[in-house]
């Protein structure tokens, strides 16, 4: 049997082996596309009888569908094809950030089924108002999933701060002004016991989740070694190393905003001087680009519109805007060079406002990487702008909820009203 429980756990646990193998088949069909049972067996190394039994269970659980016969000139009776029932299962991601609360519904096939975003001044509105809105968006997301024919299987909340995952608690999120907030308990209460209703909840750092979402769309080349940098009020980083999120010993890894780059620099919110955040945070850019009273500095206007205005000014040759962007791009490169030297990523993805203004930030950033990264050619790192926009973190949250099902497909029960789907002629395909 090709898949086994960890070796330290003692004799094989057949239930665990089957659970793992269900996930192996499901992941294979998700990434490889539709296939015959024989094709799944060949690709996974599982024997055909096992594959037939696993496929039967996954069909019954509504995660796979059987479809039309294959006619590819094969000798003998044509086999039936199995495919991911991608639209039947969905993950929910919710992001609570400084200026908004957002939700995304992603189905198992990777399609965004629903997205919603509520502007909210979270630091001023307070914890309760933000969580009220998050709960409302989760409810809306579940309703939207159901309307699209997809069962929501879990929801993950993204927060810009230090998260204690096991406790479902945000230890510290300075830009939200949150400290020691039991997010999951509070959300579960608002959702009327969502865990009991079969919607497990999770909470994770926003930059981690955004990095996972970027890795999922990066393609095989960049996915294994990826550095995701998000420009917002602060700077968030999500690090993918050897294909896995770098969380560190206690889950606090990836904190980059307070890298001390200049002892004579501006005072930071943290009380020290010259932190990276003071050089490349949104406030630094806006202050350098415009005087108070200028619309780009008006927090009541939509951020995307203000960034678009800045880009137009730079394109039109406005000297102050151009200089502000050049200065931020250089500082972005100085800080990024530290991370590229330490982590040697294949892909650096710029998110948040760095993506929106990437066209202008990129040239000075690349100049700095060129001279400051010790390995030749910046160690092979490519820098790209995120294409996921402000949905990246919520999308990563939805992915994490779906990953739980890929790890253990038995989390999903058979859809109501479904009969047994194991067909009598299943032997034919072995």
Name which of 112 and 384 has its Cβ closer to a copy of itself. 384
User: Least distance in Å: CB of 171 to a copy of itself?
Assistant: 7
Name which of 237 and 361 has its Cβ closer to a copy of itself. 237
Name which of 210 and 421 has its Cβ closer to a copy of itself. 210
User: Least distance in Å: CB of 15 to a copy of itself?
Assistant: 14
Name which of 250 and 305 has its Cβ closer to a copy of itself. 250
**DSSP code string of 190-239:** HTTSTTTTT--EEEEEHHHHHHHHHHHHSHHHHHTSEEEEEESSSEEEEE
Joined together, the tokens standing for residue 70 give 């294959």
User: Least distance in Å: CB of 51 to a copy of itself?
Assistant: 12
Q: Is residue 404 within 8 Å of residue 153, measured between CB atoms?
A: yes
Q: Residue 351 pairs with which residues in a beta bridge?
A: 230
| Maximum CA extent, the chain | 78
| Residue 165 burial (10 A CB sphere; 0-12, 13-18, 19+) | middle
Measured CA to CA, the distance from residue 303 to residue 332 in angstroms comes to 20
Name which of 184 and 256 has its Cβ closer to a copy of itself. 256
Name which of 188 and 277 has its Cβ closer to a copy of itself. 277
User: Least distance in Å: CB of 169 to a copy of itself?
Assistant: 13
Q: For residue 337, which of 404, 240, 256 has the smallest C-alpha distance?
A: 256
Measured CA to CA, the distance from residue 195 to residue 411 in angstroms comes to 12
User: Least distance in Å: CB of 304 to a copy of itself?
Assistant: 28
Q: What does DSSP assign to residue 87?
A: G
Name which of 378 and 390 has its Cβ closer to a copy of itself. 378
Q: What is the distance in angstroms between the CA of the first residue and the CA of the last residue of the chain?
A: 16
User: Least distance in Å: CB of 279 to a copy of itself?
Assistant: 11
User: Least distance in Å: CB of 274 to a copy of itself?
Assistant: 9
Name which of 88 and 333 has its Cβ closer to a copy of itself. 333
Query: Which residues in 85-136 belong to E strands, given as ranges?
Result: 89-96, 100-107, 112-119
**DSSP code string of 243-271:** TEE---SSS-----TT-B--TTSPBPTTS
User: Least distance in Å: CB of 248 to a copy of itself?
Assistant: 2
Interaction site with a copy of itself (CB under 8 A): 1-5, 7-12, 24, 42-45, 162, 171-172, 224-225, 237, 239, 241-242, 244, 246-264, 270, 272, 334, 337-339, 341-346, 371-376, 379-381
State the Cα angle at 156 between 106 and 19, rounded to 5°: 75
Measured CA to CA, the distance from residue 154 to residue 134 in angstroms comes to 14
User: Least distance in Å: CB of 41 to a copy of itself?
Assistant: 8
Q: Is residue 302 within 8 Å of residue 260, measured between CB atoms?
A: no
């Amino acid at each position: 049997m090709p898949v086994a429980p960890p070796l330290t756990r003692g004799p094989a646990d057949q239930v665990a082996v089957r659970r793992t193998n269900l996930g192996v088949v499901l992941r294979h069909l998700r990434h490889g596309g539709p296939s015959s049972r024989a094709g799944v067996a060949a690709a996974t190394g599982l024997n055909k009888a096992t594959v037939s039994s696993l496929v039967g269970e996954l069909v019954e659980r509504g995660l796979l569908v059987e479809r039309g016969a294959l006619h590819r000139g094969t000798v003998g009776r044509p086999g039936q094809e199995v495919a991911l029932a991608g639209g039947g299962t969905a993950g929910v991601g919710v992001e609570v950030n400084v200026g908004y609360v957002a939700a995304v519904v992603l189905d198992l096939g990777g399609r965004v089924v629903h997205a919603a975003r509520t502007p909210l001044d979270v630091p001023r509105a307070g914890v309760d108002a933000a969580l009220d809105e998050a709960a409302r968006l989760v409810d809306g997301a579940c309703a939207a999933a159901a309307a699209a024919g997809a069962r929501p299987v879990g929801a993950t909340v993204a927060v810009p701060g230090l998260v204690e995952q096991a406790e479902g608690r945000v230890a510290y999120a300075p830009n939200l002004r949150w400290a020691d907030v039991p997010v999951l308990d509070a959300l579960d209460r608002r959702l009327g016991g969502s865990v009991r209703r079969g919607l497990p909840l999770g909470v994770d750092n926003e930059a981690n989740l955004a990095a996972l979402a970027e890795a999922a769309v990066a393609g095989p080349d960049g996915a294994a070694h990826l550095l995701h940098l998000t420009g917002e009020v602060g700077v968030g980083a999500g690090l993918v190393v050897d294909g896995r999120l770098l969380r560190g010993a206690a889950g606090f890894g990836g904190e980059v905003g307070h890298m001390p780059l200049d002892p004579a620099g501006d005072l930071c919110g943290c009380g020290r001087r010259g932190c990276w955040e003071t050089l490349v945070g949104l406030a630094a850019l806006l202050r350098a680009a415009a005087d108070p009273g200028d619309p780009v500095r008006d927090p009541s206007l939509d951020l995307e519109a203000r960034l678009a205005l800045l880009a137009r000014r730079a394109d039109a040759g406005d000297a102050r805007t151009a200089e502000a962007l050049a200065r931020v791009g250089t500082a972005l490169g100085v800080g990024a060079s530290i991370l590229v030297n330490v982590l040697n990523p294949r892909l650096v993805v710029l998110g948040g406002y760095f993506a929106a203004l990437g066209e202008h930030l990129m040239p000075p950033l690349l100049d700095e990487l060129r001279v400051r990264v010790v390995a030749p050619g910046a160690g092979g790192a490519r820098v790209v702008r995120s294409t996921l926009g402000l949905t990246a973190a919520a999308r990563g949250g939805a992915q994490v909820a779906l990953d739980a099902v890929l790890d253990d497909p038995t989390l999903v029960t058979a859809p109501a009203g479904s009969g047994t789907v194991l067909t009598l002629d299943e032997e034919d395909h072995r």
